[in-house]
Structure 1
């Protein structure tokens, strides 16, 4: 008997009122740490800012309204590789030419939320002042252990594993060939889609290249590359404590972050501020409602621990895998406010880099911070590859 493909089922999240009551009670019962005067953000999340955010979360934040707004996206779940995968699947609106399927991979600390603003810009460009011929069919899955996808019961999945799941998911949706794009962990996943499924991925776009892996002689690197390696090392020494924890002992941190919504918010908000193009004022990149929507998704799904475990899984990827060169046509949009942006020489050393741009605004969360700019970057990069596939 031939294998029967699983059929995606429409998905709509519904939060029980009791879960919100429990959340508000925990927020109001917070034990606040002592903080030296004028510490600001120098020791981590600023307590003054967080107190303000938490008061809003407890008394004013309208989660049902945010949940309803997210429900406007066409969302589904389907079993893939033995796991239930939650994803957005938005088809192109009134396309004026070949439609390119595009799988967008998010990172940490977020979920499909990262792309919630950009989906309509990509599926209906004509309604947003762009060329209707640039329409995409957009697929945005939640990584297993994030958001509304299942949490692996056994060992956590690494980026190679997730790339294989995405290739299978795109097949379930009827897409033999497609484009891939992502940032943060999603950059790794998109890279392995291109490496392991080059016959299916027509082109791959990333907003970063990850941290550098190089086993050759440092003297063979360009001066620009050597300077970048030094900058990455300095960034890791001053900003990388979270990653060391998540790579080595994520389970320890998970106890506190799963039990305390304020602890969870502090862990995530510091990264939203530090990695965005906000000039030190997180309010320039995200509203309170936007921040709390992301954090509340983590809280209600209980996925902070499972999301951090992916760092542990990725740390065990063999160096030979990390050193593979991507031959699929690759594009990079290195947004101004992102961290440790690689030089073009490194991108050309490690990929078939056909387009590299440096947008003047936006940071690590570019699809959310600057959705119009990010959408235009994707339209421009993928335009030459539309005839490589059909809807």
Structure 2
């Protein structure tokens, strides 16, 4: 398929919200032993659970390296498509294509990917296989793409409402490992050009101790235009309290692109999740990768859930706030089935939560 020398904004394409109708979901299979304990075996069981849960609502494609194809195909239901796509790690939302639509056509935005910070503070090296994933996705489904060779962005660092607003964090988008050659204003212009948005809402920081430099998708999500959730704690002794309080004030006092005051719902985080000695010992120590040390706090949150066509897929941490999260989702999404995923701690140990990307429909209602 063709690489387009233009921008979505010029061509009349926009990025829809995740809550809008889409054709399917894409994931990547975990395996690297310096990031996933025991070579990813425990996490693979949970990834399979996630894929099958989402597949009840929309088609799922799981991308795997060649040496994991048979294993993944054996572990995942035959109703889920498994294909061989070379990759460095399992974070599809971050390295995959951002899909944009104009009412009759889908195109992909292929951002540069450098493993969340490149040689400054990236999480692993090399990352060149991941940087090709977006192009391969576009070619597999037969859509044209826009490629930015000199602008680093991950899908987890942006959330749009589909009506002209995008929410990001300064901690991430202004980090030294992303686009230090650009000013904040130049970054805003790129977001406007490639997402076709009018308003950028800048939060200061993301979830405490998030190794992605504070991705917005772990602290915030749009339920629908004008309505959102924010990761929250009432514990004033928790470092997360001041971060969430600051975000709440920004969101409550910043109108969106349509001039609406945002309705912000507090989504309580689980109690702090710390890496155990057993979990730490199961991860290979490799130069260039972030170690998993005993006692380290993981960036646990329910905000990084997946909005499927007819369902909400969210992580369970065996915590009392699991049920609080479910209750809030039932209130906010009365027309969707709420599905909790047991064992989400295994995904969190790898550095994230439920990590999928939507394949948008050409015509989004």
TM-score higher than 0.5: no
Task: Say which structure is richer in strand.
Answer: 2
- TM-score, normalising length from structure 2? 0.31
So what's the TM-score if we normalise by structure 1?
0.29
Higher relative contact order by CA 8 Å / sep ≥ 6: 1 or 2? 2
Higher helix share goes to which structure? 1
Answer with 1 or 2: which has the greater Rg. 1
